[in-house]
């Protein structure tokens, strides 16, 4: 009988992407104050690493965690300095889009209904990472 793959054997679950940022504390505050996340922790003195989260209510899926890693020697531009994360929204993706627009968030792709059944839009946060928010139509 074949051996189970490592992902099954070790019960891989959840993903916590790590985004390189210029200032971990500033990035965590942006995610909290503008994008609606909670600061889970800010580590280091001075701060160099942080994690933000949203959700603990399992009725709406697993919580979302994003780790923010301060890279002071990384260039401010270039493909290696950016990332993209897709975040599934369980309720009112249109309302979220409107709220971000009112807060002055940089929307790089407008709200659109995709042929595969998702309604989505994309924003760019101050360190250049793209966050794509989507929900089922």
- Residue 56 confidence (pLDDT) above 80: no
Which class for 19: exposed (0-12), middle (13-18), buried (19 or more C-beta within 10 A)?
buried
Task: Check: CB of residue 116 under 8 Å from CB of residue 86.
Answer: no
pLDDT score, position 79: 47
% the chain with pLDDT above 90: 41
Query: Which segments of the chain does DSSP mark as H helices, in order?
Result: 6-9, 24-33, 93-102
- Taking the CA atoms of residue 83, residue 60, residue 101 and residue 116 in that order, the dihedral angle to the nearest 10 degrees is 70
What pTM value is reported for the model? 0.70
* Of 129 and 83, more confident: 129
86: left (phi over 0), alpha (psi -120 to 50) or beta: beta
């Amino acid at each position: 009988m074949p051996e189970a793959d490592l992902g099954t054997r070790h019960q891989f679950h959840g993903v916590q992407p790590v985004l390189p940022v210029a200032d971990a504390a500033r990035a965590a505050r942006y995610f909290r104050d503008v994008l609606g996340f909670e600061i889970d922790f800010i580590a280091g003195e001075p701060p160099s690493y942080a994690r933000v989260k949203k959700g603990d209510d399992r009725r709406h899926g697993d919580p979302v965690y994003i780790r923010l890693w301060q890279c002071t020697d990384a260039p401010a531009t270039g493909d290696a300095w950016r990332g993209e994360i897709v975040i599934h929204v369980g309720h009112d993706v249109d309302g979220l889009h409107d709220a971000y627009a009112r807060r002055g968030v940089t929307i790089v792709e407008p709200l659109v209904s995709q042929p595969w059944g998702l309604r989505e839009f994309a924003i760019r946060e101050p360190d250049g990472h793209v966050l794509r928010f989507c929900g089922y139509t």
